Structure formats: structure tokens, C-alpha cells
Amino acid sequence: MRIWGGLADMTPDMAPIMDGNDPIEGFYMDCGWGYFGFKSCSAVGKYMAQYMASGHCPEILKPFNLRRYENHQLMGETAALVSYTPDN
Ligand SMILES: Cc1cc2nc3c(=O)[nH]c(=O)nc-3n(C[C@H](O)[C@H](O)[C@H](O)COP(=O)(O)OP(=O)(O)OC[C@H]3O[C@@H](n4cnc5c(N)ncnc54)[C@H](O)[C@@H]3O)c2cc1C
């Protein structure tokens, strides 16, 4: 009764990926929510819809871009066990 089994889509910095048009024009993603995806969906839906309708990324979504991993700009969420910096 008190256990579960399954997959949770975790990212290395425990933060979701919300991005689009990079590199494929018209392809948007909203994933990697781990354990907090459904309480965030109303706000995310609003901003992702704005992004998809206009093609311009709202300021609030910019830090969640996919290229943060390539650019060593991980979010360093407090829930993460490791604090990432550009040096590690
Ligand atoms: C045990 C547990 C507890 C949680 N508790 C909370 C909580 O208290 N509060 C909270 O906010 N969040 C919680 N979450 C997290 C939340 O459930 C998820 O973050 C959220 O459901 C993710 O939504 P999503 O639409 O991004 O992905 P998902 O809900 O995983 O949807 C992805 C969909 O894509 C489908 N799919 C996958 N591959 C393919 C493919 N190749 N082709 C077609 N379809 C495909 C899958 O079948 C699935 O339907 C919890 C999660 C777990 C596991």
C-alpha cells in the first residue's frame, strides 16, 4: 500500500527542460519534471502556450533551456545532491 515502482524523468540539476525552436524550428519540449510536474502544469501551460504562439521565449522560461547542460549553466536546484558550477 505504501510503495510504488516506475520511472521518474529526472534531469541532472533536478530542474525541468522547457525550450523550443533550437535547433529544430517548431519543435517545443516541456519535460524532465521529476516529482513536481503536475502542480506546475497550469503555469507552465500558460507560458509554453505564449512561447508557441509567439515564437518568443518568455523571460521566465529562459533559464530552463536545454543548452544549459552544454553551457555548464545548470540550475543547481536545492533538491540536487551536488551544486553544479561551470568548474565541475
Ligand atoms: C510517485 C510519484 C509522485 C509524484 N508526486 C507528485 C506531486 O506530489 N506533485 C507533483 O506536482 N508532481 C508529482 N509527480 C510528478 C508528476 O507526476 C510528473 O512530473 C508529471 O506527470 C510529468 O508530466 P509529463 O506530461 O511531463 O510526463 P508524463 O506524465 O510522464 O507523460 C509522458 C507521456 O508520454 C508518453 N510517451 C513516452 N514515450 C512515448 C513515445 N515514444 N511515443 C508516444 N508517447 C510516449 C508516456 O506514455 C506518457 O503518457 C510525481 C511522480 C511520481 C512518479
pLDDT in tens, 46-72: 999 999 999 999 999 999 999 998 998
Backbone phi and psi for residue 17, each to the nearest 5 degrees, phi listed first? -110, 120
Confidence at 83, pLDDT banded by 50, 70, 90 = low
Ligand 1 test: best mutation among 28, 31, 36, 48, most atoms within 8 Å of CB?
Answer: 36
Please provide the size of the chain in residues.
88
Give how many domains the chain has, as a whole number.
1
Closest CA to 13 of 87, 79, 86, 88: 79
CA-37 nearest atom, ligand 1: 19
What pTM value is reported for the model?
0.86
pLDDT tens track for 12-40: 888 899 999 999 999 999 999 988 899 99
Mean pLDDT, residues 6-11? 85
Element (H, E) at 54: helix 37-54
Report pLDDT for 48.
98
> What domain range includes position 25?
1-88
Q: What is the CATH number of the domain that holds 79?
A: 3.50.50.60
